[in-house]
Amino acid sequence: MRNDQREVNNLRPIKITKNYISHPEGSVLIEVGNTKVICNASIEDRVPPFMRGQGKGWITAEYAMLPRATAQRNIRESSKGKVSGRTMEIQRLIGRALRAVVDLDKIGERTVWVDCDVIQADGGTRTASITGAFIAVVLAFGKLLETKAISKMPVRDYLAAISVGVLPDGKEILDLNYEEDFQAHVDMNIVMTGSGEFVEIQGTGEEATFSNKQLQAMLGLAEEGLQQIVEVQKELIGNLADRIGETNPAK
Amino acid sequence: MRNDQREVNNLRPIKITKNYISHPEGSVLIEVGNTKVICNASIEDRVPPFMRGQGKGWITAEYAMLPRATAQRNIRESSKGKVSGRTMEIQRLIGRALRAVVDLDKIGERTVWVDCDVIQADGGTRTASITGAFIAVVLAFGKLLETKAISKMPVRDYLAAISVGVLPDGKEILDLNYEEDFQAHVDMNIVMTGSGEFVEIQGTGEEATFSNKQLQAMLGLAEEGLQQIVEVQKELIGNLADRIGETNPAK
Amino acid sequence: MRNDQREVNNLRPIKITKNYISHPEGSVLIEVGNTKVICNASIEDRVPPFMRGQGKGWITAEYAMLPRATAQRNIRESSKGKVSGRTMEIQRLIGRALRAVVDLDKIGERTVWVDCDVIQADGGTRTASITGAFIAVVLAFGKLLETKAISKMPVRDYLAAISVGVLPDGKEILDLNYEEDFQAHVDMNIVMTGSGEFVEIQGTGEEATFSNKQLQAMLGLAEEGLQQIVEVQKELIGNLADRIGETNPAK
Amino acid sequence: MRNDQREVNNLRPIKITKNYISHPEGSVLIEVGNTKVICNASIEDRVPPFMRGQGKGWITAEYAMLPRATAQRNIRESSKGKVSGRTMEIQRLIGRALRAVVDLDKIGERTVWVDCDVIQADGGTRTASITGAFIAVVLAFGKLLETKAISKMPVRDYLAAISVGVLPDGKEILDLNYEEDFQAHVDMNIVMTGSGEFVEIQGTGEEATFSNKQLQAMLGLAEEGLQQIVEVQKELIGNLADRIGETNPAK
Amino acid sequence: MRNDQREVNNLRPIKITKNYISHPEGSVLIEVGNTKVICNASIEDRVPPFMRGQGKGWITAEYAMLPRATAQRNIRESSKGKVSGRTMEIQRLIGRALRAVVDLDKIGERTVWVDCDVIQADGGTRTASITGAFIAVVLAFGKLLETKAISKMPVRDYLAAISVGVLPDGKEILDLNYEEDFQAHVDMNIVMTGSGEFVEIQGTGEEATFSNKQLQAMLGLAEEGLQQIVEVQKELIGNLADRIGETNPAK
Amino acid sequence: MRNDQREVNNLRPIKITKNYISHPEGSVLIEVGNTKVICNASIEDRVPPFMRGQGKGWITAEYAMLPRATAQRNIRESSKGKVSGRTMEIQRLIGRALRAVVDLDKIGERTVWVDCDVIQADGGTRTASITGAFIAVVLAFGKLLETKAISKMPVRDYLAAISVGVLPDGKEILDLNYEEDFQAHVDMNIVMTGSGEFVEIQGTGEEATFSNKQLQAMLGLAEEGLQQIVEVQKELIGNLADRIGETNPAK
């Protein structure tokens, strides 16, 4: 049993509140255990300079934490005047993951800005951000469909993310909370599609290493957990669920 | 009647949720109409270098907006690498206002960090921040009282803030929403104590001016509104209300 | 009697030297007691991007101090790589105040850059900057009138600023020098037009508060002082004095 | 056959020149095909503030490219005034990888600064950096052993890195050059120890996804390639090879 | 004859106003033709970290221009957030030149901060800064002598600077104004001591070259001009003139 | 005899490797004694904004050191977020020197970016950079001649640079290594053309001065040394040597 009485393969409770903030085209508050992230998707009617004139769109993401999202207050990155390496890694990951399931050719010269702001942190903030951002993006595209700015849902498949890891006793576990993450010898983040393909695998031993067998065990836990999360996503987006994948050639 | 059906002297509905975020010593979500601000107060057991060795404490504030708190997405200040003049003005105002009602001599060499993060904006974000931050700070001192780190509530009086203004038709109004703020010829922010003393007055005509008579009318509206807000604060802090002012010499 | 033998309602001696620097379209050195500020107004034949194509102009201000304008040497803001919150507040104030009395519609797509550089400081640098900048701007518009670049003086009214405050003994005073400013419980800056309308009121209690009665006493002192300053301005600008207000509809 | 006539499981030629720069404690030029990286390891006799007083050491890495290491000249990061997200990701990866095989407890309060400067780039610069940095670090520890500053080689195992990927035609390949990297649907970097344990796995589909079967194929290619690279490393370090692992408890 | 009716070997009129700003230990306004520079010398009772504990002092200089010191307004370096290469070159030159004639061993662990702020520019601002800064530094040391903080004047010799150049017609000239500087093919700045030794020579052909013969002609002009400037300096510092050089071993 | 057994007028061995890096249009590794600099010249088909539409080109240079080019590791300028004054001085010098011998009118609206990256430093890095950059630029123009992008070699003359100085014992020496540079009372850098004209003279006494006689001795040493270096350059560029100067009117 883990420090919060979960089995090794148990997810923490997930709660996603749609339309949490009123201004963005898509907005959710995602809660995964005690981790809480506001995910807003904004549609801008132009693309960055390096993409102009190609007739396709772009998705980019930014990630931040409130200073007191954590047990110790962190200095605000705007006060420091620069974004940390950790923040950059995470926001690049979120953007890349979303681009893997969106048909950028089908959204016109538009940019989707995804903002993931962690208001309370207890481990897994980057994976919660991806899972929540996916919904925010689908909702934002829902708005474009409503106004007939686009004619098909440009999202090819579901997208969700979860962490797995290896505790000092060698046990592989799913969905690490902060305390577990702090202790773990191996920390791995997996991003997958609804059909079970990998989008991103990032596994790291901090002052430690891991075997192929441990890798396989972690991948198994992640796959199981991600299927459950995708079910939550499907239910939440209601009617829009039928439209996921409608730009896929096969469909 | 105003654009949201209020009378000129009507406040918007105020809702304050205590202990909104779990980590900070004091935390509230304050909602004033559609404006929503998370106010967190963090206690740090040391003071900035310029105050060391004086045996007294310090209060400082930081203010920020989520990029999509507004109708148009704003560029994140951490991405720009610097804090705007507007942000600096507001966070200096919040800190100064709080210091006016706190007995810094009675909190030891501690810093209270107040973070006001606007998650949704519809006018009056700086005044909502002050009103909410006051509660967060009282709750944080409540924690220090519980652990007997301090023996008296170091808050001398209530503190609240509100905006007043003059519309293009010359009408003075209380508690401007975004649309009113955008149109107003004069915009004034008033910070007052529970006993009706001024802490800060900032009145500005942007490409316009105002008379002493208009000033008096605005001050009258503000005073009336602030008394109502202080009542909300009193009720909210429950038992701690009895302790406000216990470091006052007269008491 | 005050630390420099003035009565509570006495201004310090004011001296304004026109055309102090040769390059700018308008330039003055303003001396208020021991405070000395170079105010330069520069005309640029274009407006910032956010104002292009509207057929109107813009006024913006920058403020700085020489490192040794003060008793202790300050680190240069260019060396620190960023502008302090105090500087930003002051330069935003100066620009806003000037815009309140200038008909931006009547100056074409031009920007007036106002630079206020404090070479010696003894309190009241921001108010001296506004009083001096007003003259520099009038002189610059005088140049545009001479070359017939514009046909009417686009300045609607005089503009001047002064500080008032409350000393620890409760006495309200006019035009604080550095030592008084340092001691004062309340510090207020008032910007007014020649016809006695308010442009800006900024009153602050640092770790103190003030009553409406004190506010009224301070406003009275300021009004009296500002009338005297406007007389100095009128005399100084000579022939241009007749043209102030010539774009006012009533005139 | 690939664009440079290699088989899918062929490495590019690897050449490592020891003691390339004279000042650093450890220095190599590593060439992997047309990719050339100078890897310097510097020993500093203190640790960063967050590690002081723990009696252990630290390893940190920095990574940069000469502006014209690439086909198009890049703007220098020192001119831009900030380090890009890509650079941060890579230098964090290099540092983390090295820390996984070094006994920080055995090096005293010292910092090893690893500088990887790419002078010519043709894909795989981050993996070449890790492979080369390992040698530079071993050489630097060799210096400390010579001067008896430490008594045992604090490196537990070999460390090398390689890229694998999936080409658009679905073929998995080892050690991508720039052109292959540009085309690949999946790009994965693997860091492994000499005994075949994973240190880091980073696999990414940019606008694409990959299956578990593809993952396994890529891991197989990587393992095979990394064994060859470790052989090159062993030969290169000569006598020091016998001392790798001498702090391992088992040994 | 030159554009301002001077002969090739004529200096522009020089005027130095002592004690121009009241706060600094040494302060002058130096006017060389239409170039005007405020030179302030501030004494700080400590040295920078790299010099601590050596029992000797340091002199450092900073240089800036008001935005409208020039015909076109320049963007403020504090707004740009960084100091230009030109500014850095000049302030390094001023500091180095002053250090060449000051006995740093004789001033204790003190830093002399020299601030040269150009309020009006017409060529030769860096050389006017050096000539003026020398006086400001002597006055500041005069203050230290008065309070007996030091017992001997630590200035070994006079120090002055001037520009020379070659016009497009091949004529060598002394003390270039802005228009001449703009046209000149060669621009050279010479810093010399009162006894005629070189401290610094910086000669530059911008898109041009110069012969040894031209160099000698320019050095001759400079030497002649600098002797006249040193006479102005001697007269200005009055009684302190007798003390220049009193730390020289020979004296 | 000097610390490395050279006579006062001896250069250190010079070795220049052409086409050192494969991507740039011109590239050399220059070694002067133990100083090693990679000089790359890149051609960009546009000019900076301030030069557009004039039908002529521009040459600009950047200079940097690897952190461990020196005995002590230096902090990377990209990590500090700004370029030092020393770096700025050097890169401005290199660019200015190259522009003095290139016919910018004859290269079309192109920018030549010259990057000098010091990989190992032992004194004289700026002069080695100029000597090496000259070759890189000639090679880059050779590429433009080959592709007939330009029809004449736009380089008017050879360009080389060397340091001279005065040791504490008063001896003038040529081509200082690091230890000599550290001790020298006077340090001078001379840039000359192949026909013996000066392009730049920068002589500095750090806490010392020098006489005209010493100046002449140093200039003599420099001239002699530079003639030898130009011979090395001539030989190295082979056929291109015939084309140097072909845009000169006289030719």
Query: C18 — phi, psi (to 5°)?
Result: -75, 155
Residues of B in contact with C101 (CB under 8 A): 209
The fraction of chain D above a pLDDT of 90, given in percent, is 94
At E104-162, the pLDDT tens digits run 999 999 999 999 999 999 999 999 999 999 999 999 999 999 999 999 999 999 999 99
DSSP character for A54? Answer: S
- Sheet of D58-65: strand order equals D14-18, D26-32, D35-44, D111-120, D58-65
Average pLDDT along chain F: 96
Average pLDDT, chain B: 96
pLDDT in tens, B194-220: 999 999 999 998 788 999 999 999 999
Residue B115: pLDDT above 70?
yes
Q: Which residues of B are less than 8 Å from C202 in CB distance?
A: 201-203
Contact list, F210 vs chain E (CB under 8 Å): 197-198
Distance of alpha carbon C68 from alpha carbon C65, whole angstroms: 8
SS3 F212: helix
Q: Which residues contact F221 (CB under 8 A, 6 or more apart)?
A: F8, F9, F164, F172, F173, F174
How many angstroms away from the CA of A120 is the closest CA of chain B?
6
Interface residues on B facing C, Cβ-Cβ cutoff 8 A: 82, 85, 88-89, 91-92, 96, 99-101, 104, 188, 193, 197-212, 215, 219
Closest-approach residue (CA) in chain A for B23: A71
| Per-residue model confidence as pLDDT tens digits over B117-128 | 999 999 999 999
| Cα B29 to Cα B24: distance, rounded to the nearest angstrom | 12
- Best mutation target among B76, B122, B179 (most A Cβ atoms within 10 Å) is B76
Residue to test with chain E: of F60, F156, F209, F215, most E Cβ within 10 A: F209
What residue numbers of F does the annotated binding site cover?
Answer: 86, 124-126
Q: DSSP letter for A11, please.
A: P
B208 chain-C contacts, CB cut-off 8 A: 100
Residues annotated within the binding site of A for phosphate are 86, 124-126
CB-closest option in D104, D199, D203 to A198: D203
For residue B55, say whether it is annotated as part of any ligand binding site: no
Comparing alpha-carbon positions, the chain B residue that sits nearest to C104 is B207
Least confident of B128-132, B140-144, E203-207, F48-52: E203-207
- Residue D249 is predicted with a pLDDT of 79
Distance (Å, rounded) from C-alpha D114 to C-alpha D42?
6
Residue B22 has its nearest CB partner, among A81, A82, A120, at: A120
Nearest Cα residue in chain E from C72: E23
- Residues of chain A with Cβ-Cβ distance to B120 below 8 Å are 21-23
Which of E221, E161, E154, E236 shows the shortest CA–CA distance to E192?
Answer: E161
Of F197, F203, F212, the CB nearest to E200: F203
Q: What is the pLDDT along chain C (251 residues), one digit of tens a residue?
A: 899 999 999 999 999 999 999 999 999 999 999 999 999 999 999 999 999 999 999 999 999 999 999 999 999 998 888 899 999 999 999 999 999 999 999 999 999 999 999 999 999 999 999 999 999 999 999 999 999 999 999 999 999 999 999 999 999 999 999 999 999 999 999 999 999 999 999 999 878 899 999 999 999 999 999 999 999 999 999 999 999 999 987 66
CA distance A1 to B157: 50
Among chain A, residues having any CB pair with chain B shorter than 8 Å are 21-24, 27, 34, 38, 40, 42, 44, 62, 64, 66-71, 73, 76-83, 87, 113, 115, 117, 119-120
- Residues in chain E closer than 8 A to F227 (CB atoms): none
Q: Report CB contact under 8 Å: D202, A198.
A: no
Rg (CA), chain B: 18
In this complex, do E210 and F193 lie within 8 Å of one another by their Cβ atoms?
A: no
- Strand-pair partners of C188: C164, C203
Least confident of D218-232, E75-89, F100-114: E75-89
Percent of chain A with pLDDT over 70: 99
Residue closest to B64 by CA, chosen among B133, B5, B132, B118: B118
Locate the domains of chain B by residue range: 14-243
If you average pLDDT over residues A42-70, what whole number do you get?
Answer: 96
Closest by Cβ to D100, choosing from A96, A201, A209: A209
Q: Residue A82 — pLDDT band, cuts 50, 70, 90?
A: confident
pLDDT in tens, B10-25: 999 999 999 999 999 9
Which amino acids of E are annotated as binding site for phosphate, given as ranges? Answer: 86, 124-126
CB contact under 8 A, E200 and F205: yes
For residue E79, the distance in angstroms to the closest alpha carbon of chain C comes to 7
Cβ contact A23–B67 (<8 Å): no
Q: How far apart are CA C69 and CA C119, in angstroms?
A: 5
With cut-offs at 50, 70 and 90, classify the pLDDT of residue A251.
low
Residue E143's CB: how many other CB atoms inside 10 A? 15
Determine how many CB atoms are found less than 10 A away from the CB of residue D23: 18
- Angle value at C-alpha F147, between F141 and F150, nearest 5 degrees: 55
| Average pLDDT over chain E, rounded to an integer | 96
Find which of A60, A77, A91, A209 to mutate to test the D interface (most D CBs within 10 Å of its CB). Answer: A209
Residue C62: alpha-carbon gap to chain centroid: 12
Looking at residue B203, what is its pLDDT? Answer: 97
Tokens found for residue D126:
């981050």
Give the minimum alpha-carbon distance from A103 to chain D in angstroms, rounded to a whole number: 9
Cα-based angle A244, A247, A248 (whole degrees, multiple of 5): 90
Nearest CA in chain A to D91: A85
Distance from CA of E204 to the nearest CA of F (A): 5
**Widest Cα–Cα separation across chain C:** 56
3-state DSSP assignment of residue F250? coil
Tell me the per-residue pLDDT of D130-151, one tens digit each, with 9 for 90 and over: 999 999 999 999 999 999 999 9
Q: Which residue of B has its CA nearest to C190?
A: B203
User: Does the pLDDT at position A158 exceed 70?
Assistant: yes
Rounded to whole angstroms, the Cα distance separating F54 from F109 reads: 8
Region of D245 (left: φ > 0; alpha: ψ -120 to 50; beta: rest) is left
Residue ranges of the annotated binding site of A are 86, 124-126
Pairs of residues, one from chain E and one from chain F, whose beta carbons lie less than 8 Å apart: 88
In chain E, residues with a C-beta closer than 8 Å to the C-beta of F211 are 197-198
Please name which of A172, A163, A162, A161 lies closest in space to residue A210, comparing C-alpha atoms. Answer: A172
Q: How much is the pLDDT for F251?
A: 61
- How, if at all, do strands E172-174 and F14-18 pair? unpaired
Model pLDDT, residue C206: 78
User: pTM surpassing 0.90?
Assistant: yes
Structure tokens at D229: 């690279």
Q: Is the Cβ–Cβ distance between C129 and C37 less than 8 Å?
A: yes
Chain A residues within an 8 Å CB radius of D219:
212, 215
Q: Tell me the one-letter amino acid at F121.
A: A
C-beta of residue E119 within 8 angstroms of C-beta of residue E68: no
What tokens appear for C150 in the block? 């514009």
Contact call for F197 and E215, based on CB within 8 A: no
- Cβ of E78 and C78 within 8 Å? yes
Shortest CA distance from D119: residue in chain F: F21
Q: Where are the beta strands (DSSP E) in chain C?
A: 14-18, 26-32, 35-44, 58-65, 111-120, 159-166, 172-174, 186-193, 198-205
B27-57: pLDDT as tens digits:
999 999 999 999 999 999 999 999 999 999 9
SS3 F191: strand
For residues D1-12, give the mean pLDDT. 95
- Cα separation, A52 vs A108, whole angstroms: 11
Q: Is E249 exposed, middle or buried (0-12, 13-18, 19+ CB in 10 A)?
A: exposed
Determine the pLDDT at residue B251: 61
Residue B91: strand, helix, or coil: helix
Name the pairing type of β-strands C186-193 and A159-166.
Answer: unpaired
Per-residue confidence at E251, pLDDT binned at 50, 70, 90? low
- Model confidence band, residue D251 (pLDDT cutoffs 50, 70, 90): low
Digit-coded pLDDT (tens) for E15-35: 999 999 999 999 999 999 999
Does the complex come out with an ipTM higher than 0.90? yes
Nearest to A205 among D82, D199, D209 (CB): D199
Residues of E at the C interface (Cβ-Cβ below 8 Å)?
Answer: 21-24, 27, 34, 38, 40, 42, 44, 62, 64, 66-71, 73, 76-83, 87, 113, 115, 117, 119-120
Which CATH superfamily groups domain E14-243? Answer: GHMP Kinase, N-terminal domain (3.30.230.70)
DSSP string, B9-67: TPPPPEEEEET-SSSSSEEEEEEETTEEEEEEEEEESS--GGGTTSS--EEEEEEEE-T
- As a whole number of angstroms, the distance between CA D227 and CA C205 comes to 72
Contacts of F87 in chain D (CB under 8 A): 78
Nearest of F26, F18, F30 to residue F160 by alpha carbon: F30
Chain-chain contact of E208 with F100 (C-beta, under 8 angstroms) = yes
Q: Is the pLDDT of residue B87 over 90?
A: yes
Nearest by CB to A68, which of B24, B67, B71? B24
Q: What is the pLDDT of residues F11-47, one digit of tens each?
A: 999 999 999 999 999 999 999 999 999 999 999 999 9
